[in-house]
Chains A and B, each alone.
Chain A
Amino acid sequence: MDAINQLIEFFPYAIMGSIIAGVICAFLGVFVVSQRVVFLGASLTQVSIAGVAFSFLHLINLEGFLSSLFGVEITHDSFFHNFEPAFFSLLFAVICVLIFSQSYRQKYLTQDGILGIIFVVAIAIRIMFIQKSPMAEVSEIEAILKGDILFIGKTQLYTLAGIAAITIFLFIIFYKQFRFVTFDPESARAHGINSRLWIIIFYLIVGMGISLTTRFVGDVFVFSYLIIPSSIGILIGKKVYHVFLFSVLVGAVIPPISLYLAFKLDFSSGPTAVVTSFILFIIIYVVKKIRS
């Protein structure tokens, strides 16, 4: 009980943040897994980190640009300190998503191949950006870039809550369009729904959710919580809303439990969250296999 009390006392935002991040990833993961674009999740996490690394180069004077655009003076305060990396992370993710959403237009490469190229190039340019960064140690920058659940503070928590609210709200508002175009884009188009536009919007929302969440909880957490909870949901859900319900439930419950385990057993929080959800996945898979 002591460990739980200490955890609640020292890391209240981390606990709540991990729940919200788990919910965002699990929710988006249902779409990513059911669309068979799992590697998009992996690529987007790396692209987002590359975006953050790019912001450390300070090649683009974002404050100057925004000042001239809106005709106001912007001082480099703590808001901008957080805004700039998030902005470039988002920008990189949006570019990646726009490229990916148009990949069906060409027949030379598979979508997997394109995502593989994006994935490896994102890692490579991240390393190059870090090497040229004016900041000190490469290992320190890597740690900042990849985020950590335990570093979640009040601001990050509110931001995560905002991302969760916007993402889920947009998917609820436009569930009809997303449902039809992700199920059968050709027929959706034939029946008067602009499939191309809705697929771009769909991937943009997924990209924004993944990109911003990666910034706060790290790529390992995001990628695994995109896949594992939704896979559990698909394994046991008999109706579509069951799949969402189980996925989100796993995404919400496992991160705080794994935080406790990491705290108690002195492991890193991200990998512990992944392994805990994986153990649950294996148990559910084996039980399902035996029962069927």
Chain B
Amino acid sequence: MKKEITSFSNVSIGYGKKIVLKDLNFSIYENDFVGIVGPNGSGKTTLLMALLGNLKPIKGSIKKDSLRFGYVPQRDIVQPLLPYSVLDVVMMSRYSLMGLFGKPSKEDFEIAEESLKNVGILQLKNHNYKSLSGGQRQRTLIARALAVQPKVLILDEPTNGMDTPSHYTLLDLIARLHDENKLTILLVSHLLTDVANVVKRLILLEKEFFQIGDIDEILSEENLKKTYSSEFGVTKIDEEYIITSKHKN
């Protein structure tokens, strides 16, 4: 039986008194690979914030193992004016492990470089973060999350605004990190096809609708209609899901 690392019991979350998601009951397990999808504004990022502990539940309880989390934010929110190098950016996550007055050690730099190697951009370590392409920036942010040596990696819309080749190589990278590094991964996206073909379990989110389960049981036309209020066709060809919109203008 898999070890439970996070469990939500009757949890309602939101901002102030406004509830965004209510009565959530689910668990995340060790070496899980969970996709979180739903339309814009459905509460995906809110759920992430609660998972990270950045948002306290209005109701219910969230039990968390004392595992280390690595977080990859939406790339667009990181727009520095200062010329930070790629290594500078990756080192930032190590700061949280150094204590109030600690200084980066040789080991910290080695771990940061190892993380860059893991995502395939070690050769860019001295480059200016601002000068990188969207895909390279995203890899830098993933390397930063890996540099805390996490057990759980949480990614918020990692493929947003990327060209098609970068999009798919990034999804391959995430899948590899799950397979080879045995990382538990939570992948948030509003692009259903992105998630459907890489994750093992799926959370479908909409304000009054919440479903979680194995991809085969959750990814149905009926569930997608409830989530997106629109008709979708779901076909599986050669172990790959193809999701098409039935909506006609």
Contacts and interface: CB of A to CB of B under 8 A. Distances in A.
Tell me if chain B binds chain A: yes
Given A179-B92, A192-B96, A238 B128 contact: yes
B73 A234 contact: no
Interface string B153-181: 01000000000000000000000000000
B85 to A, nearest CB: 7
B33 interface: no
Given A190-B69, A240-B88, A179 B95 contact: yes
B144 interface: yes
Given A173-B101, A183-B78, A240 B84 contact: yes
A149 interface: no
Interface residues of B, number: 32
Contacts of B93: 180, 187, 191
Given A30-B82, A192-B96, A187 B71 contact: yes
Contact of B73 (A34, A186, A192, A237): A186
B67 interface: no
B121 interface: no
A177 B98 CA distance: 10
A261 interface: no
A243 interface: yes
Quick one: which of B52, B73, B96 has the most chain A CB within 10 A?
B96
Interface in B34-92: 52, 54, 69-73, 77-78, 80-85, 88-89, 92
Interface string A225-240: 0000000001001111
B81 A33 contact: yes
A65 B238 CA distance: 81
Contacts of A237: 83
Contact of A36 (B81, B96, B144): B81
A234 B85 CA distance: 14
B77 A184 contact: yes
Contacts of B69: 190-191
Contacts of B88: 179, 240
A249 interface: no
Contacts of A189: 52, 54
Interface in B82-135: 82-85, 88-89, 92-93, 95-98, 100-102, 128
A34 B80 contact: yes
Interface string A164-182: 0000000001101101100
Interface of B: 52, 54, 69-73, 77-78, 80-85, 88-89, 92-93, 95-98, 100-102, 128, 141, 144-145, 148, 154
20 contacts: A33-B81, A177-B95, A179-B95, A180-B95, A183-B78, A183-B92, A186-B54, A186-B71, A187-B72, A187-B78, A190-B52, A190-B69, A190-B154, A191-B71, A191-B96, A191-B148, A192-B97, A234-B83, A240-B84, A243-B83
